Structure 1
Amino acid sequence: MSAVWSIAKAEMAWLSRSRLAQMSAGIFLLLLALSALTSTVFLSEQFDHRQTHQDEATDIFEDQPDRHPHRMVHYGQYVFRTPPPLASIDPGLDAYGGTSIFLEGHRQNAAMFAGASEGAAMVRFGNLTPAFILQVLAPLLLILIGHSGLTRERESSTLQVLLAQGVKLRSIALGKLTVQLIISAVCVLVLAVAAFTAGPEDTRDSVSATAVVLVYAVYLAIWALAVTSISTMLRRSSSAFLVLAALWMIVTIVVPRVAADVASTAAPLESAFARQMALATSLRALGDSHNPSDPNYVDFQSKVLADYGVETLDELPINIRGLMAVEGERQGAEVLARFSGADQDARVRQQEIIGVAGLLSPVLAIQRASQAIAGTDLAAYHRFLNTAEEHRLAFVQALNMLQATEVDYTLDKLKSIDVQAERATRVSADAWRSLPAFVFEPAASSTRIANAIPSVILLLLWFAGSTGLFLWATGRRNL
């Protein structure tokens, strides 16, 4: 162990004299620190911004005057997706999925106000965030600093001297690896500070922060092992750098891009136009729940009359228009759920295909693990969409039931032609002030970590493979 530490100290001394190493490490760490700081500030602003808009949207909805309940169904309301704390580390799909949805009756609107256009596979090269820097740029730093670790000793003939003095090749390589791991540890330390201080204090999650720090530590260790192994196996620094640069290019750019294209081809998404046309056709086939004379609701009206033991709609103790609105919204929600479910399933299949490609690139594995733990992955985005739809259906049906129970059927029929009838069908504004407010919170840390397990397993396989490569490279006799 003393030999390993001596080699590590000598390597650190050499790096301290290398302007390339100093400039590379300095620029990288400054970039990482600045990205962590700016991302944290931006997240804080986004958190306050979205929460403010959510409160304003809720106040506007609740401040509406006495109205007919169905007017409020179409008036609708906006709901906003509050970013999770670790979005400052890895925003994931937050920039590509919308942050707000307008909820109204009979419709399931798309999320709006995305920071960037949403692609078919919802995959992008990345923004200048701590996650992007650690996933893509940190390996480059390790390559620049460590590619000549063993090859430099060969080229200067000091390797043979060390071996002749009884120092084992593996000890020399471990010394070089130790320096790579120290540099990685500094990067992880910056990440840890950012992760444990991310978001408003009352929303911080130390369990998820610990998990995300650990997965990045494993990821950087994979690269440290790979860099040291390649440097041990090759005889020239230039050859080691070219091989490592090509490896970086393949696993960080080529494989993720090809995987996204393959996923888009294997599980294509229906075009927005075709989807809207098919959805409109399916909804139109349900009939018009606003019209008691609609033939699609004859059986429904007969069932209601039979349930109440009366023969005409005027004899009902309840407003059939409200009940039809409830039934129409229920049927429409089923159609909407079928279409949105098909779209979500296709996106999930794309992500599964990309996940399998994690066997070819540790970058894909760390991306999926990082986003899952941060709560910014596709599952979190779908959770927001589904939570918003549940809220939409709940408040719309509550308003429809108000029409059924609080609005007189006879007056309801006349409201479009009689001013007095229209005023009489208005319900007190207290009704919508008492409706539950929209609340969206990130999934529990245990759920997010569980979602990351498949990707973490891939990372551990890469770690095991890189460890095996290191042991093989340092155990060879032919130098």
Structure 2
Amino acid sequence: MGAFWTIAVKDATEIWRDGRFRWAAGLLLMLIIAAVAGGVHNQSQIARQHADAQQAERDVWLDKGDMNPHAAAHYGAFVFKPVQPLSAIDPGLDPFVGVFVFLEAHKQQLARHRPIEDATPTRRLGQLTPASAALVLLPLLVVSLTFSSVAAERDQGTLRPLLAMGVSRASLLAGKALGAMLPLAAVILPASAVGAAIVFWNAPADPDAPIGVRAFGMAVVYLAHAVIWIAIGITVSARARSQGAALVVLLALWFANAFMAPPLAMAAAKWFDPSPSALEFAASIQDEKDTWPTWDQRVDGVMERFLEGEFESTMAPSNVEVVALLESEADETALYDRRFAELFDLYAKQARTFERAAIVAPTLAARSLSMAFAGTDEAHDRQFADAAGRYRSAMLTTLNSELAASGRVNTFDYVRGRDLWEQVPPFDYDVPFARWALAERWLSAAVLALWLVAAAVAAAWSVATMRVE
């Protein structure tokens, strides 16, 4: 075995013999397992509630009785956002975005009912999740392991004899890094095994949900983030004048990454690309619609085109209002598609600004990737909104096409029943694959990889050029 292995075993043994580490590691392990169990329980409850609500809404849609097809479009339908299995690990934006969309004629709605609105005051202050434990508490444990890794050797006067014995600085670096990783494995491996068992044991609402690759992606992100902090810890320990100075610097870096960088990055994102509130968004759409022709003007316009022979000669004058209705619906759908795309483009720009901020804070990149693999980031919320919009368009097309094809003299007296309602299929939302999620967050992946390389290079340079006393 090489010198680096001897150093690693020595450091790992000393760390493990330290009762403070065993207490801290045991506490962190219990917190992670408790967070996973609590997250899975909460996620399973919400998933069942959404599935039951969606089925109940489908029954209401089919059993609403006979009515005019366009009246049925105004009657509307609710679609619920499926709960992602890995939201138990990282709920991401889920508590802050709506869980259902009401679909109706002439108006496209934003998702409603944010879970945070029903949360208790203490929960609104934040809750421990497996993701926060991995990205906040685990780096703190790494800091406690690495702040003295090189500085202690210098303070105790063992660094010079160690190097004089022929131990290369590269072996010293490798040994110190491995010596920190081995004790961490006592937390990471059991937590990962128990967490994976709990998550996979609770069957997701969607058996076809792409959970395996996404879970692996999250594990890689958390591991890379921990390795970055190990490299940062060794870098600071090698350059600091004392163990105390190294600890202060590392705690400051940890606090800045964990608690200062996220709100500052979000504030910067909103400042660079401000987004409207729900009320402002709805008001701006209504202002644009107010500039359109009135209903009577639209009907008169269609009648003029009818008299000019624009439509088929078999079309009855009574169908003029139906044509006006269909054209109005098409214009409104185009308007809502455009305005919703603009809104979500703003959200995407904000997310990109947040990702760019990871250049100075690696935890931000890890957060973005964690949410992406969990299916709880801005991009996945947009996917659900787009799917709801497409379902609304298909529903209105089915109902209004039946109205237009009725051939009745007074079309709005025409009624249909369950056979037509069944032609509108149940809402089905397919979660994108993990590679799509990674492609959406390529910048975060690139920045995290850059941090991994930069931290390793910095650690190597610091050990290679450190002073020996």
TM-score normalised by L of structure 2? 0.90
In structure 2, the residue matched to 1:223 is: 229
SS at match of 1:475: helix
| 1: CA distance, partners of 2:425 / 2:461 | 62
In structure 2, the residue matched to 1:2 is: 2
Asked if 1:236 is matched to 2:242, the reply is yes
In structure 2, the residue matched to 1:159 is: 159
SS at match of 2:82: coil
The CA deviation at 1:285 is 3.0
| 1: CA distance, partners of 2:69 / 2:435 | 41
SS at match of 1:469: helix
| 2: CA distance, partners of 1:270 / 1:376 | 21
| 1: CA distance, partners of 2:76 / 2:184 | 50
In structure 2, the residue matched to 1:24 is: 24
The CA deviation at 1:288 is 4.8
Asked if 1:380 is matched to 2:380, the reply is yes
Higher relative contact order (CA 8 A, sep 6+): 2
| 2: CA distance, partners of 1:15 / 1:100 | 50
The CA deviation at 1:282 is 1.8
Determine what percentage of the aligned residue pairs are the same residue. Answer: 27
CA deviations over 1:394-438 (Å, ceiling 9, x no partner) = 1122212222222623363xxxxxxxxx5xx22122101221111
Relative distance call for 1:54 and 1:411 in structure 2 (3 A) is: closer
SS at match of 1:92: coil
The CA deviation at 1:359 is 0.7
* Between 339-348 and 461-470, the greater mean CA deviation after superposition: 339-348
Unaligned 5+ segments in structure 1 are 119-123, 413-421
| 2: CA distance, partners of 1:28 / 1:404 | 64
Asked if 1:450 is matched to 2:433, the reply is no
CA deviations over 1:28-75 (Å, ceiling 9, x no partner) = 111111111221222222222211111111111111111111221111
Asked if 1:194 is matched to 2:195, the reply is yes
| 2: CA distance, partners of 1:61 / 1:152 | 70
AA partner of residue 439 (structure 1): D
In structure 2, the residue matched to 1:343 is: 343
| 2: CA distance, partners of 1:330 / 1:117 | 34
Task: Tell me the number of residue pairs that the alignment of Structure 1 and Structure 2 aligns.
Answer: 456
The CA deviation at 1:130 is 1.2
The CA deviation at 1:195 is 4.8
| 1: CA distance, partners of 2:397 / 2:183 | 58
The CA deviation at 1:193 is 5.4
AA partner of residue 397 (structure 1): T
Q: Would the aligned equivalents of 2:302 and 2:320 in 1 still touch at CA under 8 Å?
A: no
1:296 pairs with one of 292, 295, 298: 298
In structure 1, the residue matched to 2:457 is: 468
SS at match of 1:79: strand
In structure 1, the residue matched to 2:257 is: 251
The CA deviation at 1:235 is 3.3
Q: Would the aligned equivalents of 2:15 and 2:183 in 1 still touch at CA under 8 Å?
A: no
The CA deviation at 1:125 is 9.1
SS at match of 1:319: helix
In structure 2, the residue matched to 1:61 is: 61
In structure 2, the residue matched to 1:121 is: none
The CA deviation at 1:200 is 2.2
Q: Would the aligned equivalents of 1:148 and 1:237 in 2 still touch at CA under 8 Å?
A: yes
Q: Would the aligned equivalents of 1:68 and 1:426 in 2 still touch at CA under 8 Å?
A: yes
| 2: CA distance, partners of 1:426 / 1:67 | 5
CA deviations over 1:163-190 (Å, ceiling 9, x no partner) = 3333334433322211322344455433
Asked if 1:267 is matched to 2:268, the reply is no
Relative distance call for 1:309 and 1:213 in structure 2 (3 A) is: closer
SS at match of 1:261: helix
Aligned-residue Cα RMSD (Å) equals: 2.4
AA partner of residue 438 (structure 1): F
In structure 2, the residue matched to 1:409 is: 409
| 2: CA distance, partners of 1:281 / 1:457 | 42
| 2: CA distance, partners of 1:101 / 1:211 | 30
Q: Would the aligned equivalents of 1:96 and 1:115 in 2 still touch at CA under 8 Å?
A: yes
| 1: CA distance, partners of 2:424 / 2:465 | 72
Asked if 1:355 is matched to 2:355, the reply is yes
* Between 8-17 and 72-81, the greater mean CA deviation after superposition: 8-17
CA deviations over 1:205-230 (Å, ceiling 9, x no partner) = 32222222112211111001111221
| 2: CA distance, partners of 1:211 / 1:274 | 38
| 2: CA distance, partners of 1:94 / 1:30 | 25
TM-score normalised by L of structure 1? 0.89
| 1: CA distance, partners of 2:340 / 2:210 | 32
In structure 2, the residue matched to 1:334 is: 334
SS at match of 1:102: strand
| 2: CA distance, partners of 1:300 / 1:188 | 69
CA deviations over 1:233-275 (Å, ceiling 9, x no partner) = 2232111110001111222222222221111111111243333
The CA deviation at 1:322 is 2.8
In structure 2, the residue matched to 1:419 is: none
AA partner of residue 305 (structure 2): K
| 1: CA distance, partners of 2:327 / 2:435 | 38
| 2: CA distance, partners of 1:151 / 1:164 | 17
AA partner of residue 296 (structure 1): R
Unaligned 5+ segments in structure 2 are 119-123
The CA deviation at 1:98 is 0.8
Q: Would the aligned equivalents of 1:319 and 1:403 in 2 still touch at CA under 8 Å?
A: no
In structure 2, the residue matched to 1:131 is: 131
Relative distance call for 1:14 and 1:411 in structure 2 (3 A) is: closer
CA deviations over 1:284-310 (Å, ceiling 9, x no partner) = 333455xxxx11333333335524454
| 2: CA distance, partners of 1:58 / 1:390 | 17
SS at match of 1:101: strand
The CA deviation at 1:364 is 0.9
